[in-house]
Chain A
Amino acid sequence: DSGVTQTPKHLITATGQRVTLRCSPRSGDLSVYWYQQSLDQGLQFLIQYYNGEERAKGNILERFSAQQFPDLHSELNLSSLELGDSALYFCASSPRAGFNEQFFGPGTRLTVL
Chain B
Amino acid sequence: LAKTTQPISMDSYEGQEVNITCSHNNIATNDYITWYQQFPSQGPRFIIQGYKTKVTNEVASLFIPADRKSSTLSLPRVSLSDTAVYYCLVGDTGRGGSSNTGKLIFGQGTTLQVKP
Contact = CB atoms under 8 A, between A and B. Distances in A.
Interface in B40-69: 41-46, 49
Contacts of B80: none
Task: Assign chain A's interface to a size class.
Answer: 20 to 34
A18 B20 CA distance: 41
Interface in A24-80: 31, 33, 35, 42-45, 48, 50, 55-56, 58
Tell me whether chain B's interface is mostly helix, strand or loop, or mixed: loop
Interface stretch (B9-17, B71-79, B88-96): B88-96
B105 interface: yes
Interface residues of B, number: 30
Nearest to B31: A100
B7 to A, nearest CB: 16
Among B93, B104, B106: residue with most chain A CB under 10 A: B104
B108 interface: yes
B34 interface: yes
B104 A45 contact: yes
Contacts of A48: 101-103
Contact of A42 (B42, B89, B108): B108
A102 B43 CA distance: 10
A88 B109 CA distance: 17
B100 interface: yes
A55 B101 contact: yes
B29 interface: no
A98 B104 contact: no
